[in-house]
Amino acid sequence: MMDAIKFVYTVPGDDFSAAGQASADLKSKLKTMGVDPKSLRNIAISLYEGEINLAIHAGGGQITVLVYPDKVQMFLDDEGPGIADIPLAMTEGYSGASDAVRSLGFGAGMGLPNMKKYTDEFDIQSTVGQGTHIKMAVYLKD
């Protein structure tokens, strides 16, 4: 496989207004690199959902993005509380978010399902008390 172009972002866990900076920056960079609009939107939405999760659920985390000619891989890693029941968390409409988070316009239980919906590859591993690791990929059109 060809060498990838790598981008790394740190997502703070205590600044909700800053959430989305990484996704916006990546979207801008990929647009400059000529990524097709549909793939670009899928990457932006899935990463943005993940970034929001890192900010509101995990106390922050790290995003690593690898850009290949044929796909964009995204890794989201945190050392937050973890997810006890992943199938439940993947259910549309289920949310463990607080009322405070809902008042910010999120916590409808669509975050993880959206990330899966908008990506071509999606894998989530989580250990309660240790953190969550998500790997996603979007295939690029010619």
Q: Does 107 bind other proteins (CB under 8 A)?
A: yes
Alpha carbons 18 and 11: distance in angstroms, whole number: 8
End-to-end CA distance of the chain: 17
Rounded to 5°, angle at Cα 114 from 111 and 120? 135
Alpha carbons 83 and 120: distance in angstroms, whole number: 22
Q: Tokens 């690898």 belong to which residue?
A: 66
- CB 83 → other proteins: shortest distance, Å? 17
Q: Which of residues 8-67 bind other proteins (CB under 8 A)?
A: 16-17, 19-20, 23-24, 27, 37, 41, 44-45, 48-49, 52
- From 62-70, 72-80, 98-106, 122-130, span contacting other proteins (CB under 8 A): 98-106
Enumerate binding residues for other proteins (CB under 8 A): 16-17, 19-20, 23-24, 27, 37, 41, 44-45, 48-49, 52, 92, 104-111, 113-114, 117
